[in-house]
Amino acid sequence: MSAMTQNLADKRVLVRVDFNLPLEDGHVQDDTRIRDATETIQRLLQANAKIILLSHISDESNGSNVGSFQPIIPTIEKVLNKKIVFIPSLDSADAVIEMAPAGSIILLDNLRLYPGEEQCDISFAKRLAQLGDFYINEAFSASHRNHASLVHLPRMLPHALGIAFRREITIIDQFLHHGSSPKMAIVGGRKLSTKVYLLKKLITKVDKLALGGGIAGAFLSFFGNTNFSVFEQKDYVEEVINIINTAKSCGCKLIIPVDFSALVSNSDHMDHAIISSDNRCASIFDIGPESVKLFMQHIDESRMVLWNGPVGLFEKTPFNFGTEQLALHIAQATREKRIESIVGGGDTVYAMNRFGVANDITHLSTGGGAFLTYIQDESLPGLSAVLEDETRIF
């Protein structure tokens, strides 16, 4: 234990975590974000601090932000292997924290129950600051948000970055600036609109950029596949031209799929077929086997691979093929130490878990929006706030 953490004995440490976990019918589908925060929490327990966890949870299944942590406390207790003292409302927070002995883990209910959190209200942050003596941000995946607990709190209390947060940015920085070449990025996902800035950044940093999903479609007509008008995302034609030209001038090779897995209309029904680029009646849902081979060859020639966005509709057979084959291949190359792999984004990480390779990837990011924002901007509102006058304790 460092002298710095030792100084936190008996101190109230506010730890902003991101326990916004994927839920289905109220059940936690993936506890990675809790496991990720464990090292920081354990270190604070060893230092005999009083730990007060702050987090939001956005219950997207019912389209609201007002879910409670109450039903998922057993999952948090199981992962942390310790009882949680739960604070259902800020009104009772001071008394509960006062009563709890050092070495307790206390959890305040959903920060988004208070409008001041998302409004980035300074008085709400001041109220939270009264609960602690020290602040730690261990919520990489939420730190792209300009919210009170992320940007105001660190300016009100002595503060530090959490261990997992620093690990996240260190590996992304390494990929962008210092990692071994050749570097490859694979970007998929449905909509080009959400990835334009990511692509613009990556072409200046990688040797090869492979495109899958709906995003690849936007590029096809520029590579001679004129029949893919269905995919031409007209609002982005200029952006696509700009990306292609910049890639050329930066020496970044764009890798575009050469075949697809699709449903093809056949009089009154649809049949699954592998098609090349000349079928007008097809609905495309995945990249085809030749494209998978092509992507794999480039992976094998690379030293670092960063992946964001599935290349097809991987939840539905047979359209899982492209994403699954690439996941298995990247996992194997990583296991054999031929590449270092970084995978980020909610759907892509979910795919790694689904195909059983999550543990083989060098770094699986907890971030979705934060992962994209950090690659694009190399900063996050919640990170900049903590790095100002940080007290390094880990």
Per CB under 6 A, residues contacting ligand 3PG are 18, 20, 58, 141-142, 145, 368-369
- Tell me the two tokens of residue 155: 């300016």
The answer to whether residues 185 and 202 touch, using CB atoms and an 8 Å cutoff, is: yes
> Least distance from C-beta 345 to ligand 3PG, angstroms?
10
> Least distance from C-beta 290 to ligand 3PG, angstroms?
34
> Least distance from C-beta 327 to ligand 3PG, angstroms?
21
Minimum CB distance to ligand 3PG smaller for 252 or for 375: 375
Minimum CB distance to ligand 3PG smaller for 20 or for 302: 20
The CA-based angle 342-212-319, given to 5 degrees, is 100
Residues 296 and 339: their CA atoms lie apart, in Å, by 12
> Least distance from C-beta 145 to ligand 3PG, angstroms?
5
> Least distance from C-beta 22 to ligand 3PG, angstroms?
8
Minimum CB distance to ligand 3PG smaller for 210 or for 352: 352
Minimum CB distance to ligand 3PG smaller for 55 or for 341: 55
Minimum CB distance to ligand 3PG smaller for 289 or for 369: 369
Minimum CB distance to ligand 3PG smaller for 15 or for 262: 15
Minimum CB distance to ligand 3PG smaller for 116 or for 322: 116
User: Quick one: which of 346, 345, 313, 343 has its CA closest to 328?
Assistant: 343
> Least distance from C-beta 117 to ligand 3PG, angstroms?
10
User: Quick one: which of 7, 9, 98 has its CA closest to 45?
Assistant: 9
Residues 247 and 204: their CA atoms lie apart, in Å, by 7
Q: Tokens 């590029």 identify what position? A: 219
> Least distance from C-beta 380 to ligand 3PG, angstroms?
11
> Least distance from C-beta 75 to ligand 3PG, angstroms?
16
Residues 162 and 87: their CA atoms lie apart, in Å, by 23
Residues 48 and 5: their CA atoms lie apart, in Å, by 9
Minimum CB distance to ligand 3PG smaller for 96 or for 150: 150
